[in-house]
Amino acid sequence: MAGMPAMDHAAMDHGASASMPAADSLGLPRGLPLPALSRLQNHGRAGQFVGRLQAAPVSLPLLPGKPATTFWAYNGQIPGPAIVAWEGDEVNIAFANTLQQPSTIHWHGMPVPAEQDGNPHAPVLPGQQRTYRFELAAGSAASYWYHPHPHGHTAQQAYMGLAGVFVVKSHDDPLAHLPEQWLVLSDLKLDAHGQIADNSAADRHDGREGQFLLVNGGWQPVIALAEGERQRWRIWNASSARILKLALPAHEVDLVGTDGGLIATPRRIDSLLLSPGERAEIVITGRFTPGQPSALLALPYHRGKAMSPEQDDSLTLATIRQAGNKATATLPDKLRDITPLGAPALKRVVNFSENMADPAAMFLINGKKFDMNRVDFSGKVGQIEEWDIVSQAHMDHPFHLHGTQFQVQARTEDGVWQTEPFLAWRDVVNIPAGETVRLRFVQGMPGLRMFHCHILEHEDAGMMAMLDVGS
Ligand code: C2O
Ligand code: CU
Ligand code: CU
């Protein structure tokens, strides 16, 4: 796949997109219990997390009666092993790259020093190793993830299977009494031979979508929940490009956390928009209602007025099976304090646009394609910035900033400004086509920080830029 000449690639794409076999024809098992995520082993002493990740091709039996499917995986696991550490821990992760391409590990959302953040400027070449070192600051407890970020190869390495979750826990956690489920949502696109399909021309425009939207690597798994039971779910949208409008009809759902951890107080919700790269924590309370589907659904969502919906009907991601009755645990009213960021020292405008007429520069930020050697903005440690992310695009693009968490201040809806109804720490926010999102942040550490569209095909195509944070 990797060594194929460009022309054949293009020719193959058309055939591939026209003939993506239907999900049901491939025989992928479904309806099995939710797969548990494997854990990365900690070899450190107390107060440390010391581990090792190796990126390598691996063949896993996926489709009964078909040859094994080749993935690229961390430590042979799909999804990659979950890293679980505590606030205050010193993290030390040795990374060995045994792929045929340069790679990096980016610690998505985590406040790590710029030179430890797996930027495309610091590739780990094939056959090489490096160690990532950072400390987990107080107050950083949240659901993060890690994935490759090499120049031009991020989408491919991610869809081949390289991604895992990183959960930072706090000893002072108001929801520690609730049982947890961790749900990693990812997209799998297979060809007729059960191998991971290459990106089609359409994928490179609209973002890659497969036949299967998996949860922890399983197709439409079953999650057990008792009537009245409260569970804390951490959900990662680890797909390349899907903007997911999630819903759990029948059950009660409270949003309790976003990318950067808990919000101030639980908020009852009907649905949850989770764009690529984004995470949420919810508390689900089992309410099995006759006549209502007991399932985790992705509702139809229009990502831009000119775009066809992601799907016409609701998509079932997982079903929820009633497992008895349980007493309802308390859901505290106060989760944590979030201090609003004050008046900005600096305001900037970031324009997302598309130029379909230029295949070499289709996805742009402030009219430019990403350049590894160009600093787009210069900032300062400790300085509050306010950015308006303005979409002049025909489709939605999820904005992501490295190095820190931001607070959304306001957004336009059909061009009319709406103040954000609650405070939350985020590192990804969807920018709907034609709309603007205003956010504030402060960077705590110096160095180069990437910001980009988290549709990985767009990021690779150049919808990325750099903020140089001076000390
Ligand atoms: Cu999740 Cu710059 O990446
Ligand atoms: Cu990131
Ligand atoms: Cu995009």
Cα distances from 169 to residues 84, 403, 461, in angstroms, run 7, 19, 35
Ligand 1 within 6 A of CB of 449: no
Res 148: pLDDT: 98
Name residues whose C-beta falls within 8 Å of residue 3's C-beta, 6 or more positions apart in sequence: none
pLDDT band of residue 272 (cuts 50, 70, 90) is: very high
Residue nearest to atom 1 of ligand 1 (CA): 108
74 beta partners:
55, 77
Structure confidence by residue, pLDDT tens digits, 93-107: 999 999 999 999 999
Res 385: pLDDT: 98
Name residues whose C-beta falls within 8 Å of residue 385's C-beta, 6 or more positions apart in sequence: 344, 345, 346, 347, 348, 379, 440, 441, 442
CA angle 10, 360, 306 (to 5 degrees): 85
Span from the CA of 436 to the centroid of ligand 3 (angstroms): 14
Ligand 1 within 6 A of CB of 402: yes
Name residues whose C-beta falls within 8 Å of residue 181's C-beta, 6 or more positions apart in sequence: 34, 223, 231, 232, 233, 234
Atom index in ligand 1 nearest the CA of residue 145 equals 1
Lowest mean pLDDT among 171-180, 255-264, 307-316: 307-316
Per-residue pLDDT averaged across 231-252, rounded?
Answer: 97
Res 19: pLDDT: 66
Read off the tokens for 162.
């390289």
pLDDT of 9 > 80? The answer is: no
Please state, in angstroms and rounded to a whole number, the distance separating the CA atoms of residues 221 and 217: 9
Span from the CA of 456 to the centroid of ligand 2 (angstroms): 11
Structure confidence by residue, pLDDT tens digits, 416-452: 999 999 999 999 999 999 999 999 999 999 999 999 9
Of the listed ligands, the closest to the CA of 149 is 1
Res 445: pLDDT: 98
pLDDT of 305 > 90? The answer is: no
Q: Which residue has the higher pLDDT, 328 or 12?
A: 328
462 φψ region: left (φ > 0), alpha (ψ -120 to 50), beta (else): left
Ligand 1 within 6 A of CB of 458: no
Please state, in angstroms and rounded to a whole number, the distance separating the CA atoms of residues 239 and 303: 15
Per-residue pLDDT averaged across 207-236, rounded?
Answer: 97
Ligand 1 within 6 A of CB of 242: no
Res 306: pLDDT: 67
Span from the CA of 332 to the centroid of ligand 1 (angstroms): 32
Question: How are beta strands 397-401 and 428-431 bridged, if at all?
Answer: antiparallel
Span from the CA of 444 to the centroid of ligand 1 (angstroms): 18
Q: How far is CA 281 from its chain centroid?
A: 13
Name residues whose C-beta falls within 8 Å of residue 420's C-beta, 6 or more positions apart in sequence: 407, 408, 409, 410, 411
pLDDT band of residue 310 (cuts 50, 70, 90) is: low
Q: Give me the domains of the chain, ranges plus CATH numbers.
A: 31-169 (2.60.40.420), 180-325 (2.60.40.420), 346-470 (2.60.40.420)
Q: How far is CA 112 from its chain centroid?
A: 17
Q: Quick one: what percent of the chain has pLDDT higher than 90?
A: 90
Res 292: pLDDT: 87
Span from the CA of 359 to the centroid of ligand 3 (angstroms): 15
Question: How are beta strands 230-237 and 180-188 bridged, if at all?
Answer: parallel
Cβ atoms of residues 109 and 145 within 8 Å: yes
118 φψ region: left (φ > 0), alpha (ψ -120 to 50), beta (else): left
Question: How are beta strands 230-237 and 244-247 bridged, if at all?
Answer: unpaired
Ligand 1 within 6 A of CB of 276: no
Ligand 1 within 6 A of CB of 304: no
Ligand 1 within 6 A of CB of 147: yes
pLDDT band of residue 113 (cuts 50, 70, 90) is: very high
Structure confidence by residue, pLDDT tens digits, 356-375: 889 889 999 999 999 999 99
- State the DSSP string of 47-71: TEEEEEEEEEEEEE--STTSPPEEE
Ligand 1 within 6 A of CB of 279: no
Ligand 1 within 6 A of CB of 397: no
Span from the CA of 453 to the centroid of ligand 1 (angstroms): 9
Give alpha helix (H) positions in 269-353. none
Which of 173, 154, 197, 165 is closest to 15 using CA atoms? 197
Asked if the peptide bond before residue 79 counts as cis, ω within 30 degrees of 0, the response is yes
* DSSP single-letter state for residue 445: S
Ligand 1 within 6 A of CB of 149: yes
Span from the CA of 164 to the centroid of ligand 1 (angstroms): 13
Span from the CA of 276 to the centroid of ligand 1 (angstroms): 10
Res 153: pLDDT: 96
Cα distances from 248 to residues 233, 245, 317, in angstroms, run 12, 10, 10
Res 130: pLDDT: 98
Average pLDDT of the residues of the chain: 94
Span from the CA of 278 to the centroid of ligand 3 (angstroms): 14
Res 15: pLDDT: 36
- Protein residues placing their CB within 5 Å of the ion ligand 3: 397, 453, 455, 458
Ligand 1 within 6 A of CB of 400: yes
Please state, in angstroms and rounded to a whole number, the distance separating the CA atoms of residues 199 and 156: 8
Of the listed ligands, the closest to the CA of 431 is 3
Res 359: pLDDT: 87
Per-residue pLDDT averaged across 171-194, rounded?
Answer: 97
Read off the tokens for 464.
């990325």
Ligand 1 within 6 A of CB of 230: no
For 378, the 3-state DSSP assignment is strand
Question: How are beta strands 363-365 and 346-354 bridged, if at all?
Answer: antiparallel
Structure confidence by residue, pLDDT tens digits, 383-423: 999 999 999 999 999 999 999 999 999 999 999 999 999 99
pLDDT band of residue 311 (cuts 50, 70, 90) is: low
* Predicted-complex ipTM score: 0.99
Ligand 1 within 6 A of CB of 452: yes
